[in-house]
Amino acid sequence: MTRWLLVGAGILGVVLVAAWIVAGRTRAPQLPKSDSAAEKKSEEHESESLRLSEEQRRALGITVEAIAPRAPELRLTVTGTIAANPDRTVVVAPRTPGRVVRVLARLGDTVDAGATLATLDSVEAADALGELIQSESAVAVAEARAEQERQLNTAKLRVIEAARQQTTAEGALRELEKVDRGRPKQEYMSALAKLELAQAEYERERLLVEKKIGARKDLVRAEKELLAARSELAAIGETLKLTARQELLQAEEALKQARAQRDRLRAKLHLLGFSDAALAAAAQNPAGRRAVTSLVAPFRGTVIQRQVTEGQLLDPASTPFKLADLSTVWALLDVPETELGWVRPGQAVTVETGGAPKMSHTGRVVYIGDVVTEQTRTLKVRVEIPNAERHFRPGMFVSAQIAARQPGPAVLMVPKAAVVYLDEGAVVFVDAEGALRPRPVETGPELGGWIPIRKGLTAGERVVTEGALALKAQIVKAKLGEE
């Protein structure tokens, strides 16, 4: 009995010693962390590096980029609406009252420059077209007359000159037979005959004086009469020339006026919607067939409004079609007045649609409003956006991001998606020697989707900018598997 009591006491003593040792360990005081704790943590992260093949990287969506200092940016997010460019929006309306004969363009159609949207039957246009046809005939007559007068004027001058060179009135008459001049021709021939008679009388008196059988005074009289006859002939010849020239000028003036009248009517019909080709075709129309005027698109665009039907009466005040060039549109953004200092003309703006799928395009600030809306305390900022694929439509609600550079030096920054948290610390994955290693970093506050890096990275290092969360998941998964 005594022996069993001793054995029990020994066992109890061993248990108490063991309990004391365990209790001592659990209550052992914690030693302060040494300065190398951060380095040890970094080494632990370095040991968690991942080596992935190119195929695995693609599967995880890994993107690696070299980082560099960049100027801090602030991104303003605002909303607005899409509007058609008023400089490329036009109302296509008739310039004279008329009845719609045919409508060719539908709402939403994209038409080329010069395309016919509708045709109209207009009384005013038909009257102007009839006057044009008459003026064309008048021009043809005037051109023929002017050409005839040119030829006659040349022929008259040539014949008169030839007649002057004849020695007898009979020879001159033969030359002037080619000219139909009426009374001026008769006067010219009479003067020429008178000159011939005076010349003969002078020669006779001169011979009598030379033979000393005639009086000297008769020779002087004959000489005076000869000079008067020459002067009279010269005057009649000049009058004949001037008359011919005047008739030519009158014919040319009539032609000029006929052409001016025709051009005026053509210009009027152009304003009424007739092209040169349409005018030429209308001139060939059979008698009794009315020509129609056309509503023509002035440029390539989209029909955004149509208020016309066949048989409808239109006048210049109506708005049958509205055409807009939607290859570029305006985004009218509402920017708070407190943020206006970050916006300037020419600044890049990313505009995004609100529907699905979301579409985004980059435009430029072209105008900053001068008036603040009292209810919202915002200003209108106009952004011009290329819209070749027609992603933006007038009236559509959009959101926009305006990137504005903040004052200050460039700092090392990485995209927000590049930073993840492991063991309650920020890390980025660095691509070095074919391995992706998590590296602890000290970060600053986010600036427009970018994270400043204060410590832990140097410029030029290659960092995972897309897919960092997938790499973190791989590391966490591996740790859970080990436990």
* Domains of the chain and CATH, by start: 38-71+410-482 (2.40.420.20), 73-87+324-405 (2.40.30.170), 90-123+271-323 (2.40.50.100), 136-257 (no CATH)
* Residue 280 CB burial class (10 angstroms; 0-12, 13-18, ≥19): exposed
Concatenating the DSSP letter of every residue in 314-378 gives: E-TT---EEEE-TTEEEEEEEEEGGGGGG--TT-EEEEEESSSS--EEEEEEEEE-S--BTTTTE
| pLDDT tens readout for residues 326-374 | 999 999 999 999 888 888 898 889 999 877 678 888 999 999 999 999 8
Provide the total of helices (H) and of strands (E) in the chain, helices listed first: 9, 23
Measure the CA dihedral 205/206/207/212, to 10°: 90
Phi, psi of 135, deg, nearest 5: -65, -35
Query: How many whole angstroms separate alpha carbon 254 and alpha carbon 245?
Result: 14
| pLDDT tens readout for residues 86-98 | 889 999 988 888 8
* Residue 301 CB burial class (10 angstroms; 0-12, 13-18, ≥19): buried
How distant, in Å, are the alpha carbons of 170, 172, 228, 239 from that of 166?
A: 9, 6, 19, 19
Query: How many whole angstroms separate alpha carbon 111 and alpha carbon 93?
Result: 16
Q: What is the pLDDT along the chain (483 residues), one digit of tens a residue?
A: 434 333 344 444 433 333 333 333 333 333 334 444 445 455 555 557 788 888 888 888 999 999 888 877 777 889 999 999 988 999 998 888 889 999 999 998 999 998 889 988 888 777 777 788 788 888 888 888 888 778 777 766 666 666 666 556 666 666 666 555 555 656 666 777 777 787 777 778 788 877 778 787 877 887 788 788 778 777 777 777 777 778 788 888 888 998 898 888 888 888 777 777 777 776 666 554 566 788 889 999 999 999 999 988 888 888 899 999 999 999 999 999 988 888 889 888 999 987 767 888 899 999 999 999 989 999 999 999 999 888 898 999 999 988 776 666 788 889 999 999 987 789 999 998 888 999 999 998 887 678 889 999 999 899 999 998 988 888 888 877 655
Query: How many whole angstroms separate alpha carbon 105 and alpha carbon 89?
Result: 16
Beta-carbon count within 10 A of 326 CB:
20
Q: What is the pTM of this model?
A: 0.51
Phi, psi of 6, deg, nearest 5: -65, -40
